[in-house]
A and B are shown apart, each in its own frame.
Chain A
Amino acid sequence: MKTIGKVLIQFENVTLGYRRHVVARDVSFTISEGEFVGIVGPNGSGKTTIVRAMLSILRPQGGVIRISGQSSSRLRIGYVPQRDSIDPIMPFTVFDVVMMGRYGRLGPVQIPTASDRNMTLDALAHVDLADLASTSYRDLSGGQKQRALIARALAAEPDILILDEPTNGMDLASRITILDLIKHFHSEHGMTVVMISHLLSDVANVVKKIMLVEPRFFQVGSVEEILSEENLRRIYDMPVTVGEWMDTKVIIARGKSV
């Protein structure tokens, strides 16, 4: 596994919002090379807003955001959006979609080369979708679509992988496959990963550092510090039990898994 290296993303007392509506205030954290960070919080708490700021899609209303140090080259981000946000009418093949990951390196005019095609095929092989390269993206299952979007992010040869709710709405088998895949890229390839999820158990079992986003508060720390029973009870306003079963962290609220 890769050791923690230089700081890739740094937020200092950042305020985020849309026009007059402030979503998150006083957000401070760093993400360093080789880290696996989870972003959790209730629905509408501002998780995606923080990620949009990391992606430089949203400008901060206050504070400072530093991306990839001071004068180094641009941080290359492999972004995996929520798959439901993509609903194409055109029959893009899986290969077409993954090839888009190369476009950032090519620029708007340059035509993909044989090397770009090979990188695309490699990325497809990494997520076990090589056989479906010529299938229409529209015809894939939810889990396959998610893997195609991860392959597209990998094809960009990113410094950091940012995933927005990668397991949302998936059945158990697909969920485990996706989480294993992400864990594999972190542990075997040393990939820096940031994963948003509202599924606390998913995050608790794969990440080492957690950001907990609430409408008025922002906390960052280890899994044990942040996902404590007391903290979760306060946030979700219900009794929560945090335990371990067969080496797996389990978070239960009133008999329901959260």
Chain B
Amino acid sequence: MSDAEILHTIFTEFPFALFGSVIAGILCAYLGVYVISKRVVFVGATLTQVAVAGIAFAHLPYVHIEPVYGSIVFTVIVTLLFGWMLQSKSVPRDTILGASFVAAIALRILMIQKSAGAEASEIDAILKGDILFITADQFHLLLVAFLSIMTVHLLFQKAFLFVSFDAETATTQGFDSRWWEMLFYLTIGGAISIATRVVGDVFVIGFLVVPPAGAILTARKVKNIFLLSILYAILPPIIGLYLAFRLDMPAGPTTVATALLLLLGTWILSRLKR
């Protein structure tokens, strides 16, 4: 297969994989700017594992619900718990997140063990990041989530930025930081739960961290960080899908590896410029 034929196949045979991974990438990359600037990368990683546990729960015998609902329910519940528990000063934040992270992974393994073989292999495909077979329904759900979450974020960007910069002063100015923090984590939880079901956990964690990190390294203005992070999220899914075809590798991790190479290149360039 020539390069042109591969690209033609991706665009014509796997449009949901291509556009789904680009949309998921943009959503994660945008939210990831806040995740990094609030220093809560571990929250993103933990919620991703909670989402996978929710998917595994949906595959249990006698449960049988649409996996994305399992993912959403688990993630929203844990997000609300985080909103309450992370305010506490008696237990360190890292301890709460670490315990939740391990609990989600343990739960996931136990539930996969109790699932039927075919269903366990579907969860396995999610974990491997097999994004080629994104369905039309999954793509449309992702698109709705993308439009809703981005609308909330663009409409209230001022409030999210103020609270992430200085929550206490924002509260004195009438922006109840606890409420805004909760809304922020709910949007993160919503994005992670749906994106994890569609493109897998490695992709989601990777795009929450890698494109924003590249943008923060490069941009000198806050507005440009968001724009660059989105730009960094568009190219890797296209290159990643091409490489996955060419080298016969799972598309999710290949896409994340491409994004990492882009970050490395950005970092080297930013060092050379100094």
Contact residues, B30-52 vs A (CB, 8 A): 33, 36-37, 39
Q: Across the interface, do B156 and A55 meet the contact criterion of CB distance under 8 Å?
A: no
Given the known interface contacts A91-B219, A104-B174, the answer about A79 and B165 at a Cβ–Cβ threshold of 8 Å is no
Q: Across the interface, do B175 and A104 meet the contact criterion of CB distance under 8 Å?
A: yes
Report B-chain residues with C-beta under 8 Å of the C-beta of A85.
166, 168
Instruction: Specify which of B155, B162, B216, B222 is in contact with A103 (CB 8 Å cutoff).
Output: B162
Given the known interface contacts A89-B39, A90-B216, A90-B222, the answer about A108 and B175 at a Cβ–Cβ threshold of 8 Å is yes
Question: Does B225 sit within 8 A of A, measured CB to CB?
Answer: yes
Q: Across the interface, do B158 and A104 meet the contact criterion of CB distance under 8 Å?
A: no
Distance in Å from the Cβ of A134 to the closest Cβ of chain B? 9
Question: Does B148 sit within 8 A of A, measured CB to CB?
Answer: no
Contact residues, B192-233 vs A (CB, 8 A): 216, 219-222, 225
Distance in Å from the Cβ of B163 to the closest Cβ of chain A? 10
Instruction: Specify which of A18, A93, A100 is in contact with B166 (CB 8 Å cutoff).
Output: A100
Q: Across the interface, do A57 and B168 meet the contact criterion of CB distance under 8 Å?
A: yes
Contact residues, B129-179 vs A (CB, 8 A): 155-156, 158-159, 161-162, 164-166, 168-175
A109 to B219, CA, bound (A): 25
Q: Across the interface, do A136 and B165 meet the contact criterion of CB distance under 8 Å?
A: no
Interface band, chain B: 20 to 34
Instruction: Specify which of A55, A97, A108, A109 is in contact with B165 (CB 8 Å cutoff).
Output: A97
Q: Across the interface, do A91 and B222 meet the contact criterion of CB distance under 8 Å?
A: yes
Binary flags per residue of A183-200, CB closer than 8 Å to B gives 1, else 0 = 000000000000000000
Closest to B89 in A: A18
Given the known interface contacts A103-B158, A108-B158, A109-B156, the answer about A92 and B175 at a Cβ–Cβ threshold of 8 Å is no
Question: Does A255 sit within 8 A of B, measured CB to CB?
Answer: no
Q: Across the interface, do B173 and A89 meet the contact criterion of CB distance under 8 Å?
A: no
Distance in Å from the Cβ of B89 to the closest Cβ of chain A? 8
User: How many of A's residues come within 8 Å of B, CB to CB?
Assistant: 29
Question: Does A156 sit within 8 A of B, measured CB to CB?
Answer: yes
Q: Across the interface, do B37 and A57 meet the contact criterion of CB distance under 8 Å?
A: no
Report B-chain residues with C-beta under 8 Å of the C-beta of A109.
155-156, 158
Closest to B90 in A: A19
Distance in Å from the Cβ of A76 to the closest Cβ of chain B? 9
Q: Across the interface, do A100 and B168 meet the contact criterion of CB distance under 8 Å?
A: no
Report B-chain residues with C-beta under 8 Å of the C-beta of A103.
158-159, 162, 170, 173, 175
A91 to B170, CA, bound (A): 18
Q: Across the interface, do A79 and B168 meet the contact criterion of CB distance under 8 Å?
A: yes
Instruction: Specify which of B39, B165, B169, B216 is in contact with A92 (CB 8 Å cutoff).
Output: B165
Report A-chain residues with C-beta under 8 Å of the C-beta of B165.
86, 88, 90, 92, 97, 100
A140 to B67, CA, bound (A): 50
Contact residues, A93-145 vs B (CB, 8 A): 93, 96-97, 100-101, 103-104, 106-109, 136
Given the known interface contacts A57-B172, A79-B168, A86-B166, the answer about A92 and B222 at a Cβ–Cβ threshold of 8 Å is yes
13 further contact pairs, Cβ within 8 A, besides A57-B171, A81-B169, A89-B39: A56-B172, A77-B172, A79-B168, A79-B172, A88-B37, A91-B219, A91-B222, A92-B222, A96-B222, A100-B162, A100-B166, A100-B170, A103-B173
Q: Which residues of A contact B (CB under 8 A)?
A: 18, 55-57, 74, 77, 79, 81, 85-86, 88-93, 96-97, 100-101, 103-104, 106-109, 136, 152, 156
Q: 20 A-B contacts, Cβ less than 8 Å apart?
A: A56-B172, A79-B168, A81-B166, A81-B169, A85-B168, A89-B37, A90-B33, A90-B164, A90-B165, A90-B222, A91-B220, A91-B225, A92-B222, A100-B161, A100-B162, A100-B165, A103-B162, A103-B170, A107-B174, A108-B175
The list of the 5 closest CB pairs from A to B, nearest first, reads A104-B173, A108-B159, A79-B172, A89-B37, A90-B37
